[in-house]
Amino acid sequence: MSNLLMRILTAVVFAAIALFLTWEGGFLFALFAWCVGGFVLYEWRGISKSCWRQIDEIIASVAYIIFGILLVADFSAPLVFVVIFLCAIVLALVAGRKTGWVAGGYLYATLPVLSLTYIRGEEPFGFGAIIYLFAIVWGTDIAAYFNGRSLGGPKLAPKFSPNKTWSGAIGGALAGTAGGCLVAFVALDTTPANLFIPVLSLALSIVSQIGDISESWVKRHFGVKDSGRFLPGHGGFMDRVDGLVFAAILLYLVGAIAADMTVPSNMFNLI
């Protein structure tokens, strides 16, 4: 089986599971997001293993379990935020000069999980908000990959990710924005004349590509090709969700500011 076919098959299976659990919501979605975040933390430690000591691994593992308990028990977002950052501070103090890679890895794993869980939150907008986010991130990723391969052209970030091109980035941004606007119109009952949605969709698409490039930079910094081997054709979970990490955090922040920290999807009721 070719690498491209394996990549597509893995993506379809992963997307189907994600969509089903997004539909279910509640405990199952929170647990799914937490498990994926756990793989991300594990892979981050594997990539930057030279920066981790055994005590760092133990504290990070315990902190992540505490985070998961609070998450699935449906505590308020402000409380979970406080616990996350307290744990990150403890990790930073223990890690010393390797603070950035240890505490940073913990935040990289926990913040998008928290964001996704509370964006999904409650109806009527939770499910639609996650599908909106997925449409942008997945649309951006797919269009950037195929547009970049077919058109080629100047490299976007040759030092960090030599395969990415400006044509792919622009095509991905256009596709992601269009996909986001379509889903917002259908699933979130927004009006086509509302300029907030295309602007937000474009911002999320750009941020998702920044997340992709950032993960490539981390791997290149440590001389690693793939974050792991869990997902055939993709590498690891970090390779699959790198764009989602930054986009989920941004969407959550916009929703938290516009509406509520615990139910950020309510922002779609205000536009």
More confident residue, 264 or 162: 264
pTM over 0.85: yes
Q: What's the pLDDT at 123? A: 75
Q: What is the dihedral of CA 92, 252, 140, 152, to 10 degrees?
A: -40
Domain residues of the chain, as ranges?
3-269
Q: What is the pLDDT of residues 167-210, one digit of tens each?
A: 999 999 999 999 999 999 999 988 877 899 999 999 999 999 99
Q: Cα(119)–Cα(25) distance, rounded to whole angstroms?
A: 10
pLDDT in tens, 124-158: 899 999 999 999 999 999 999 888 888 878 888 88
Q: What is the pLDDT of residues 18-46, one digit of tens each?
A: 999 999 999 999 999 999 999 999 999 99
Task: List pLDDT tens digits, range 203-225.
Answer: 999 999 999 999 999 999 999 88
CA distance 175 to 182: 11
Strand locations in 68-159 (E): 155-157
pLDDT of 57 above 90: yes
Q: How many CB atoms lie within 10 A of CB 154?
A: 8
CB neighbour list of residue 219: distance below 8 Å, 6 or more residues apart: 47, 225, 226, 227
The contacts found for 190-197 with CB under 8 angstroms, 24 or more apart, are 190/268, 190/271, 194/271, 196/271, 197/271
Q: Is the model more confident about 85 or about 5?
A: 85
Average pLDDT, stretch 5-19?
86
